[in-house]
């Protein structure tokens, strides 16, 4: 047996959104049905380096396939300035659940971007208007790109409004997609008027106070306590769907109003897995604004790693090595 070493290009090449979205939806379903194990994300705080490490293990059985793995990921805010490295790095260990053999080591950063976009696409498919054609994105960082790529897989998006404080990042995004979409820079308010809105910023003070009457919002930026992109009144008036109660109430978009008692469990409609398996309805004619609060789950990483590994094996991609010299 060999272990595959898969770099960021390998992960990108072997991850097609149409298939990845299905795998992420199957992961949500497995978790809802009790066919997954996902211990709580653990943290190692390193204030002396302005950073932290996070470990995210999971196993899931989707029926036709099962998979196990762990992502070792970080946030080091000084990386770019001091080391010319990304703020977030990550390594995914993808293992054979039958015998624990490490089938692959792969770039966790590219994997995270892909599965985050796919998770937003699953939520968009269930919660956005069926004929949604415009997408607003607040935050023009790396996550913005996979939001558009994934969401345009489940909806016929033709108009895109990208908002960011950095004009160069906005222009880079516009230039990347100008040949495929009617894409332009705009204000947060203009982005929020679109049929679908994805927020991918690290802010701790809400920057979106209003949205279109039937906008679906993918709140993707909050991944730690104190982060908060959407105004409390907007959340209270919306149909809120979360990915996991424990993670969302501690580190998701709802964590700040929830900890303050402004928002309670009665204000949360349900988890995305309940909608995926049909226990609860997705968008209905009575819905106005809908919100998907996504913290990012380890089951998503494992599902994404499964897709990457299967295709990399078929395509003979990556670098093989004998991990244990057996």
**CA pair distance 120, 127, nearest whole angstrom:** 10
Question: Rounded to an integer, what is the distance from CA 244 to the centroid of its chain?
Answer: 13
**CA pair distance 6, 44, nearest whole angstrom:** 26
Q: Is 71 a catalytic residue?
A: yes
Task: Tell me how far apart the terminal alpha carbons of the chain are, to the nearest angstrom.
Answer: 8
Judge whether 146 and 294 are in contact, CB under 8 Å: no
Active-site residue, from 41, 71, 114, 239: 71
Which positions ≥6 away from 257 have C-beta within 8 Å? 228, 232, 235, 236, 263
Q: How far is CA 188 from CA 61, 122, 240, 269, in A?
A: 40, 23, 20, 26
DSSP assignment of 140-152: -SHHHHHHHHHHH
**CA pair distance 239, 127, nearest whole angstrom:** 9
Mind telling me the catalytic residues?
71
């Amino acid at each position: 047996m060999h272990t595959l070493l898969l770099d960021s290009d390998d992960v990108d090449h072997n991850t097609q959104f149409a298939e990845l979205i299905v795998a992420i939806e199957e992961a949500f379903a497995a978790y809802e049905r009790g066919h997954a194990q996902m211990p709580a994300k653990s943290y190692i705080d390193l204030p002396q380096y302005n950073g932290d490490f996070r470990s995210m293990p999971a196993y899931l059985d989707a029926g036709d396939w099962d998979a196990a793995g762990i992502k070792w990921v970080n946030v080091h805010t000084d990386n770019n300035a001091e080391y010319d490295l990304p703020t977030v790095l990550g390594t995914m260990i993808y293992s054979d659940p039958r015998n624990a053999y490490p089938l692959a080591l792969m770039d966790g950063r590219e994997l995270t971007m892909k599965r985050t976009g796919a998770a937003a696409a699953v939520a968009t498919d269930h919660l956005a208007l069926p004929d949604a054609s415009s997408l607003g994105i607040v935050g023009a960082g790396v996550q913005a790109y996979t939001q558009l790529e994934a969401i345009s897989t489940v909806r016929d998006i033709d108009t895109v409004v990208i908002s960011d404080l950095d004009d160069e990042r906005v222009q880079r995004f516009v230039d990347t997609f100008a040949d495929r979409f009617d894409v332009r820079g705009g204000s947060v308010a203009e982005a929020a008027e679109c049929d679908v809105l994805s927020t991918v910023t690290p802010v701790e003070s809400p920057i979106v106070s209003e949205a279109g009457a039937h906008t679906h919002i993918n709140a993707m930026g909050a991944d730690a306590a104190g982060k908060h992109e959407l105004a409390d009144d907007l959340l209270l008036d919306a149909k809120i769907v979360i990915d996991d109660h424990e993670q969302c109430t501690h580190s998701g978009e709802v964590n700040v109003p929830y900890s303050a008692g402004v928002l309670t469990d009665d204000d949360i409609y349900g988890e995305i897995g309940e909608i995926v398996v049909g226990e609860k309805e997705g968008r209905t004619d009575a819905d106005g604004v809908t919100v998907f609060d996504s913290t990012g789950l380890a089951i998503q990483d494992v599902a994404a790693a499964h897709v990457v590994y299967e295709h990399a094996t078929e395509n003979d991609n990556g670098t093989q090595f004998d991990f244990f010299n057996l």
